Amino acid sequence: MSVAGWDESDLEATMRQQWFDEARFGMFVHFGLYSGAARHEWVQNYERLTDEDYRQYFENFDPDRFDAREIARRAKATGMGYVVLTTKHHDGFALWDSRLTDFTSMVACGRDLVREYVDALRAEGLRVGLYHSVIDWHHPDFTVDWNHPRRDDENAHALNEGRDMARYREFLYGQVRELLTGYGDIDYLFFDFTYPESQQGWAGKGPEDWDAEKLLAMCRELQPAMLVNDRLGIPADFVTPEQYQPTAPIVAADGSAQVWEACQTLNGSWGYHRDNTDQKSATLLVQMLADSVSMDGNMLLNTGPDGRGAIPPRDVATLSAIGEWMSLHRDAIVGAGHADFTPPREGVYTRRGDRLYLHLFSWPLGFVHLPELAGKVTYARLLNDGSWLKTSQTDPDQVAGLMTPAGEAEGTLTVHLPVRRPDVLVPVIELRLADGI
């Protein structure tokens, strides 16, 4: 125990987490053989493809436009502080020079894409995140279960004869060790994932299959400062709501604040899916980002490079629009977090030090009323152009006939707005809080 009543591991955990809390916004990159198949990263599972069926994507893997520097620059220009790349997805294909298999990018195209990626991120001053699937549909010892592409084979259960998860574990640990020893400091590791048994009697896969405690201990030993998610099925540093938004700051089982990061797609698919046109609007995504930060969370936004490794033009367009917004509104996101005030119905608050940011998801007519803030704000302005905004409080003695609104609850601060909404994805009002608030 140290003086403040913290023990060493508390302290380590806090340090580990600092940059992550600060950054708030990261990029997920799903790239692999499925990018060439171009119909979702689960294509092998969805279409029950055998290894042989899937092999063509390996034989024809040609990422001539995979440019890690371009990815790093794009992430930075979007206002993101870190990137997370799929080193291996469920299909088992390794994007680095793994010595433990020949199912690698090194064999397929002579490139260690993980090496290119970590170098590029460091050159841009971004934090390095890796995604690693503990599921492996390619490995001969990984048992067939209800998530496996071979589950509907006539002899599916028989396929498990001779498969040995203990042997698979050795391989899994070996590959994780390669990643955590061969590429310098890794800041973040996203394991994926644990799932329960099915109703049809198939086993799931969980902590016992990965020997999760031991695997996490190995991560801690090899990269003590690295954040690890909870998808080994045991608690670690952060939780990962996927494709949905929480509705309040997340509280851990012991009552403490839970570090979390929502991972979100641009169109519902993580891997490149050519014919999926469900692209989210940049406005919606900025709202989701602000919403996450307002609840003390991060957002990890995915892009799936195409079969040649390039970020698809539609993603570039969305990311550029978000980047433009971030360049003006960075202060309301990076280093910001939850604010203990009730926001008006038009939006959410984030807070950084003495600045309170109101992200307006809808633009009200003339005024926005802020409960409990009367007397607590010394200055208000629009963040996009720094233009001053008049504020007032309802005077209970003179209500009728005024051009300012009446009838707001006592203690309400009213901010006067231009009729014309600023031309940005989400307008933000910056409120400077009085000392001690």
Residues in contact with ligand GLC by the rule CB under 6 A: 30, 41-42, 192-193, 242, 263, 270
Output 31 or 270, the one with its CB closest to ligand GLC.
270
Nearest distance from residue 139's CB to ligand GLC, in Å? 16
Nearest distance from residue 191's CB to ligand GLC, in Å? 10
Quote helix, strand, coil % in the chain, to nearest 5.
Answer: 30, 20, 50
Residue 148 to residues 42, 53, 163, Cα–Cα distance (Å) = 10, 14, 13
Nearest distance from residue 164's CB to ligand GLC, in Å? 24
C-alpha 430/C-alpha 383 separation (Å) is 6
Residues 6+ apart with CB under 8 A from 267: 273, 276, 277, 278, 279, 280
Q: Which two tokens stand for residue 135?
A: 């599921």
Supply the DSSP symbol for 47: T
Nearest distance from residue 376's CB to ligand GLC, in Å? 40
Nearest distance from residue 137's CB to ligand GLC, in Å? 11
Output 192 or 230, the one with its CB closest to ligand GLC.
192
Output 241 or 249, the one with its CB closest to ligand GLC.
241
Give the three-state DSSP class for 121: helix
Residues 6+ apart with CB under 8 A from 365: 419
Nearest distance from residue 421's CB to ligand GLC, in Å? 34
Output 66 or 341, the one with its CB closest to ligand GLC.
66
Residue 352, strand partner residues = 355
Output 219 or 239, the one with its CB closest to ligand GLC.
239
Q: Are 330 and 397 contacting, i.e. CB atoms less than 8 angstroms apart? A: no
CA torsion, points 206, 209, 214, 218, in degrees to nearest 10? -100
C-alpha 133/C-alpha 117 separation (Å) is 18
Output 271 or 347, the one with its CB closest to ligand GLC.
271
Q: Are 230 and 238 contacting, i.e. CB atoms less than 8 angstroms apart? A: yes
Output 89 or 351, the one with its CB closest to ligand GLC.
89
Nearest distance from residue 232's CB to ligand GLC, in Å? 13
CB atoms under 10 Å from CB of 10, counted, come to 13
Q: What are phi and psi of 27, to 5 degrees?
A: -115, 130
Output 297 or 422, the one with its CB closest to ligand GLC.
297
Burial readout 299-314 (b: 16 or more C-beta within 10 A, e: otherwise): bbbbbbbbbebbbbee
Output 178 or 192, the one with its CB closest to ligand GLC.
192
Nearest distance from residue 91's CB to ligand GLC, in Å? 10
DSSP H/E element including 358:
strand 355-360
Nearest distance from residue 40's CB to ligand GLC, in Å? 8
